[in-house]
Amino acid sequence: MAHGPNYKVKYRRRREGKTNYYKRYTYVINNATRLVVRITNKYIIAQIVKFNPKGDVVIAAAHSIELAKKFGWKGDTNNTPAAYLTGYLLGVRALKAGIKEAVTDIGLFVPVKGGRIFTVIKGTIDAGLQVPVGEIGVSEDRIKGLHIATYAQKLESENPELFKRLFSKYLERGLHPKDLPSHFQEVLNKIKSGGA
């Protein structure tokens, strides 16, 4: 490990890979309302956050587990359709809280065109929130889960055992993967009809 008079230890949250202090500094200086998106192995978390010297204040939040608990979502809680629905739910809640625009804060994630982070952002934009962002690159078919449904149908006819193993959670919850696009639309309509 380096040592000497010029060596400076980085802040703990930077060493742990949790905070990019340069980006954080620019958000604080600009007094920006942030759309914070975080993806874990199981869930997608989206929040509207404002800076406060005593600590950030969360104005609106949406968690992908809410899709299952409140809206009857039977798909995975961290796939592309769930990302869009979580973003849409956050957008609806942000507008109700009086927030009309926000800038994206993706933390230390590497932005990948068409990724789940951009799917969350698209969901908030479609809900009516203004988020300055360039090319998102997310197709409507992927948002609706058509790619999952197509793959499941193909796999079911070619290798039923693998199909049952890969989609066991879907089947346990009572959803055949080929019905995912229609189920997605059903949950989206529940969110739109004021279920937030």
**Domain spanning 16-195, CATH class:** alpha beta
The pLDDT, as a whole number, for residue 2 is 64
pLDDT mean across residues, the chain = 92
pLDDT in tens, 67-80: 999 999 999 999 99
pLDDT for 161 equals 95
pLDDT mean over 146-163: 95
Q: Give start and end residues of each alpha helix (H) in the chain.
A: 12-15, 21-29, 65-71, 80-96, 116-127, 140-144, 146-158, 160-166, 168-172, 180-190
**For the chain, how far is it from start to end, CA to CA, in angstroms?**
51
Query: What mean pLDDT comes out for the span 128-147?
Result: 92
Secondary structure class of 39 (helix, strand, coil):
strand
- 59 token code pair: 């104005």
pTM score above 0.75: yes
Where do the structural domains in the chain lie, given as residue ranges?
Answer: 16-195
